[in-house]
Amino acid sequence: MNFRDTVVNAFSQNKKALLYVAGGIVASLGLGFGYKYLQKPKKVTRVGVVSQLIIHPLKSGKGLSVSTAECLDMGLKYGELKDRHWLVITEDGHQVTGRQEPRLVLVSMTIEAGELCLNGPGMEEQRIPLQQPGNFVVNCRVWGADIQGRDCGDQASLWISRFLDSGKTFRLVQFESHMRPRRPVEKEPLFPPSEKVAYPDIGAVMLLSEASVTDLNTRLEQDVTVAQFRPSVVVSDCAAYAEDSWDEIQIGNVRLSRVMSCGRCIFTKVNPETAVVDSTQPLETLKSYRLCDPSEKHIYKSSPLFGQYYSVSRCGVLKVGDPVYRISY
């Protein structure tokens, strides 16, 4: 092959390569433009503002209102306090909630100088070490599911048993990060398989609007407060039950995806300030106007719906006063 043929052949090969590259670029641009114009753009709409953030460290215990909180996969966290990461159990490991022992709603839990502080009306404060790695691990039952907890010691057990004053012995346990969490999807298929919780009834984050509670109160003889429904996030500056339609929301840098409504039970009849149990309200009134659509009866049965469970799509920090944005496509 002479010099001229070599040059022509090289150009021919390079020409093919250039054509392949050019074709690839055109195809990529075509896909990009197609994706841009075929995908519906996001629409961000301000729908409310965070008015309260409430952490319940002890399941069925008193809520702690905070101005800022971390929003993690397993719920809210404030300092070393994590939402529903402590649990009262019977001696054989079964959960104890305000349904069986209403006075639990009066027990507050805080942390000071590395100690867990328990307080309740008529009781001296009980302080125990926050971490007790030498204590035994208990196998617990929460709504029929197995989960572990680190026993918090005899002092905590004696304090809780004396406060509840029901003639029974109770233990206090703590969920630790290395323990196997519960999977809500095993109880309710609407939850994503990745969702995990410690001791909540089912979901990690529950959101409720102030307007929904205000509307409920127009139907009651005696007003109830947001605390009666134990939400994680409370939203103001919106219409009653607006949260029912917020499928995806953003608060600060946190992204939440709605999973399902919160079906209400007899626990709503326990006054969070007095632990007095009402015979009917507000549950019966909720049943009069907040039952599910017949097509969803297999999910909620006869439970009235009040508030929404959300899954955490993106973790971050929540603050009281943060705007709440609904994201639509």
Q: How far apart are CA 75 and CA 254, in angstroms?
A: 12
Please answer whether residues 60 and 88 qualify as being in contact, where contact means their C-beta atoms are separated by less than 8 angstroms.
yes
Do the domain assignments include residue 3?
no
Do the domain assignments include residue 21?
no
Please answer whether residues 131 and 71 qualify as being in contact, where contact means their C-beta atoms are separated by less than 8 angstroms.
no
Encode pLDDT of 288-318 as tens digits.
999 999 999 999 999 999 999 999 999 999 9
Encode pLDDT of 15-67 as tens digits.
544 444 445 544 444 545 444 444 566 899 999 999 999 999 999 999 999 99
According to DSSP H, which parts of 165-313 are helical? Answer: 210-217, 283-289, 297-300
Structural domain that includes position 94: 44-328
Do the domain assignments include residue 151?
yes
Counting the structural domains of the chain, the total is 1
- Of 272, 230, 269, 277, nearest to 106 by C-alpha is 272
% pLDDT > 70, the chain: 88
Do the domain assignments include residue 37?
no
Q: How far apart are CA 209 and CA 239, in angstroms?
A: 8
Query: Encoding tokens for residue 251?
Result: 């608060």
- Of 173, 109, 102, 105, nearest to 135 by C-alpha is 173
Encode pLDDT of 169-225 as tens digits.
999 999 999 999 999 999 999 999 999 999 999 999 999 999 999 999 999 999 999
CATH number at residue 96: 2.40.33.20
Do the domain assignments include residue 141?
yes
Do the domain assignments include residue 233?
yes
pLDDT at 278 over 50: yes
